[in-house]
A and B are shown apart, each in its own frame.
Chain A
Amino acid sequence: MAKSVFNGVRIAGVAGAVPGQRVDNLTDHLFLPEADRKKIVALTGVNGYRRAPEGVCTSDLCHTAATALFDGLGRQPDQIDAVVFATMTPDYRIPSTACVLQDRLALPQSVVAYDVNMGCSGFIVGLYNACALIKGAGLRRVLVLAGDTQTKLCHDEDKTVVFIMGDAGTATIVESDPDAGDIVMEVRTDGSRFESLYVPAGGFRRPSTAETREVRERADGGLRSDDDLVMNGMEIFKFAVSDVVKTISGFMEEEQLSAENVKSLFLHQANKFMNDKIGKKLGFSPDQVPYTIQSFGNTGSASIPMTIASHFSSGDDAEAGGRAVMCGFGVGLSWGVATADLTGVYSPPIVELGT
């Protein structure tokens, strides 16, 4: 069990950025009948999302978010000791995009910079890395960049994913603070189920070829190639409502947390129907479980920080902050739960790139 307690570490600020290009699930995706589109929107809660155009990468969105965070929080790039970039959609196969971002963000050459190849649990794993670097390696301040442009992984007419997946990038500053409370985290992994959510070809195990790029209708009715993202929806649902719920529930019990002493539950934005079930199962009322899925969809590793930034900056919560439980789950399969006091966390409004 990778449960860890990090004392004297706090999240100072969280910012999010999205592409300006909007996708509307009711008026786009005309390959499905209107009645089907309406049903899917009602179920998933995703009215639309943002899509990064060609040439805009996850790093660009995270760069925009980081710039907004530096400006708003009054931090300087030379105050950063490490940058951890959590994503499934890096700029290049080589090098780590974090190295490129070191230069683009004018971070000092003394920073530790690396990518974490994670999806929906990416923010939690990135936060875990940041806390470990601060407490284990003595760093003062770590920039966690978490984002994905997963619309680029999906075939445009794959009904199993195209109504849900959106693009976003975020930046979070985690810093050492002797007066801060604990950040407690538990990360879990089950690689035996990796094929429930993955891209079959295009890596080194099975390189992209003309055959893998061939688009055809699959048994689940989705239209895609082997170079596109494939999701076994029911397996992921089972995973979320069993493994993930058990982990959060056990974690909360051990940490003596409950819906009564936790202000907010920030869940990975998978789909609203499923998240409603998870929140209810854990005893949370709907107003304790913020969403961004209606506007931004499932934004992979960005979804938790996007929801925090949106919730804290929008005025929805007059007393932003308080004890929070956060849980990311998905690709890997990997899942992680964290608790932190988010009182005082700075969040600027979500930035639109290219508008």
Chain B
Amino acid sequence: MEERIRDLFAVMLQVPPNEIKDETGPASLDKWDSMQHLILVSGFEEEFALDVDPEDLVEMYTDFGTFKRVVLRMLEG
């Protein structure tokens, strides 16, 4: 599942998956701006039938590791 999350994340941001590390964040990845973040979350909501809470959405804008952790938590919940 982690790979699937990474792949979708990379495809949506149009960057190679191997460039996405857990510590990769908006500050180190130019394409991950606030608008793209909302597009990303919207895409994940559609792909995994999620409804991301606003607080989680804000937390996900920290780094990929956090993004992935929140998605996994929601999928498990």
The residues of A with any CB-CB pair to B shorter than 8 Å are 39-40, 42-43, 159-160, 220-221, 232-234, 237-238, 241-242, 245, 271, 273-274, 277-278, 280-281
Interface size class of B (residues with CB under 8 A): 10 to 19
Scan residues 27-67 of chain B and give those whose CB is less than 8 A from a CB of chain A: 30, 33-35, 37-39, 42, 51, 53-55, 57-58, 61
B35/A233 in contact, CB under 8 A? yes
In the complex the two chains form, is B54's CB within 8 Å of A277's CB?
yes
With the chains together, A40 CA to B38 CA distance in Å? 9
A-side contacts of B38, CB under 8 Å: 43, 237, 271, 273-274
Q: Please tell me if the beta carbons of A241 and B61 are within 8 angstroms of each other in the complex.
A: no
Q: A39-B39, A245-B54, A281-B54 are in contact. Are A237 and B33 (CB under 8 A)?
A: no
Decide: B58 and A237 in contact? CB cutoff 8 A: yes
Are B58 and A232 interface neighbours, CB within 8 A?
Answer: no
Asked whether B55 lies within 8 Å of A234 as measured between CB atoms, the reply is no
Residues B58 and A242 in contact, CB atoms below 8 Å apart: yes
Decide: A159 and B57 in contact? CB cutoff 8 A. no
What is the bound-complex CA distance between A32 and B33, given in angstroms?
Answer: 15
Complex alpha-carbon distance, A271 and B51, angstroms:
17
5 contacts between A and B (CB under 8 A): A221-B30, A221-B33, A233-B34, A271-B38, A278-B54
Contacts of A232 on B, CB cut-off 8 Å?
34
Q: A42-B42, A221-B30, A234-B61 are known contacts. Are A241 and B35 too (CB-CB below 8 A)?
A: no
CB nearest neighbor in B for A238 = B58
Q: B58 to chain A: which residues have CB within 8 Å?
A: 234, 237-238, 241-242
Chain B residues within an 8 Å CB radius of A277: 54, 57
B30 nearest in chain A by CB position: A221
Contact of B42 among A245, A273, A281 (CB under 8 A): A273
Q: Are B33 and A43 in contact (CB under 8 A)?
A: no
Q: Which of B30, B34, B51 contacts A234 (CB 8 A)?
A: B34
Do the beta carbons of A40 and B35 come within 8 Å of each other? Answer: yes
Kindly state the separation between the CA atoms of A274 and B58 in the bound complex, as whole angstroms: 11
Contact A220 B33 (CB under 8 A): yes
Chain B residues near A280 (CB-CB < 8 A): 51
Q: What chain A residues lie within 8 Å of B33 (beta carbons)?
A: 160, 220-221, 233
A273 to B42, CA, bound (A): 8
Minimal beta-carbon separation of B8 from chain A (angstroms):
14
Residues of A contacting B37 in the complex (Cβ-Cβ under 8 angstroms): 234
CA distance A238 to B39 in the complex (A): 16
- Rounded to whole angstroms, the CA-CA distance of A16 and B55 in the bound complex is 34
For residue A67, give the distance in angstroms from its CB to the closest CB of chain B.
Answer: 38
Across the two chains, which residue of chain A brings its CB closest to B34?
A233
Q: Is the CB of A242 within 8 A of B35?
A: no
The minimal Cβ–Cβ distance linking A37 to chain B, given in whole angstroms, is 12
Give complex CA distance A237, B34 in Å: 9
Bound CA span A238–B60, Å: 12
Q: Name which residue of chain A comes closest to B52, CB basis.
A: A277
Q: Which residues of A contact B30 (CB under 8 A)?
A: 221
Q: Are A43 and B42 in contact (CB under 8 A)?
A: yes
A39 CB → nearest B CB, Å: 5
Of A43, A241, A271, A274, the contact of B55 (CB 8 Å cutoff)? A241
Q: For the complex, what is the distance from the CA of A237 to the CA of B35, rounded to whole Å?
A: 10
Known: A234-B26, A274-B38. 14 other contacts (CB 8 A): A42-B39, A43-B38, A43-B39, A43-B42, A220-B33, A221-B33, A233-B34, A234-B34, A234-B37, A234-B58, A234-B61, A277-B54, A280-B51, A281-B53
